[in-house]
Amino acid sequence: MITSNSKLNWNKFEGNKIPSSLELNPVIFKYLKFDSKILDVGCGFGKTISDFYNKGYKNISGVDVNESGIKFAKSKFKKLGVDIDVRVNDASHLDYNNETFDAIITQAFWTTIVGKEKREEILKEFGRVLKKGGMIYIADFGRTWNLNIYRKRYTNGRKRRLEIGTFEAFNKQTGEFMYFAHHYTRREFRQLLEKCGFEKPFYYEHTKFTTQSGNKINGHVILSTKIIISQLKQVERSRNKFGMTQRL
């Protein structure tokens, strides 16, 4: 049974029809300089990139596996006379050198990543291309058990032996399977960051997000920084000494 999203799943969405319902949380602008080198992962058709650019952040790039979305973004930026690097690229194998970016932006990106091993692979890759002390911004969907529609989806996912919080999304009109999605707990994100070489989040906000379907669900906004190698070794020594994983 296939329990992960493929490039084929996301290429079902064309151009500006790629789901993109989240707006940037204003907190991100407190921690970025206008000359910060920024990478938007899962940039889709370039909505978030445009938001950054219009606010004065010109040194921004974007990647996505959806070829149609990237084509749309390139065409849009070209018409505007804007030189922005957007490319088709898998988040687990980024086409950038080590320590290239000051910040990585992920908006409703992690919900598309199904499977713990894949998440860890991607986050470690983010650590590779981030500069020392580089920052990651996460804005993503949280589990919403109190809404009947999601309670049913989570329950059906468990019946299919999917990870808790993972479910199948279908086209409302045709009933066609579209993709797998995952909703997170705060603890889940904190453990993922800790395991993959990032600091305890220095900012966390529980919020409400509106999905592409118009559902209002729980959400997380998180800011964390890449651990400097010397700090990482110190943390690992501490864990080995006490035979346990530090809790954030």
CA distances from 12 to 44, 58, 226 (A): 12, 30, 34
Q: How far is CA 214 from the centre of its chain?
A: 20
pTM for this model (two decimals)? 0.86
Per-residue model confidence (pLDDT) at position 1: 41
Model pLDDT for residues 155-213, shown as the tens digit of each residue? 999 999 999 999 998 887 888 888 899 999 999 999 999 999 999 999 999 999 988 77
Q: Which of 58, 79, 77, 75 is nearest to 67 (CA)?
A: 75
- Burial pattern 204-235, b for ≥16 Cβ within 10 A else e, equals eeeeebebeeeeebbbbbbbbbbbeeeeeeee
* Strand ranges inside 4-147, DSSP E: 38-41, 60-64, 85-88, 101-107, 130-141
CA nearest to 41, candidates 114, 136, 166, 134: 136
C-beta of residue 39 within 8 angstroms of C-beta of residue 61? yes
Alpha helices, H only, 86-171: 116-129, 148-159
Chain segment 92-151, per-residue pLDDT in tens: 999 999 999 999 999 999 999 999 999 999 999 999 999 999 999 999 999 999 999 999
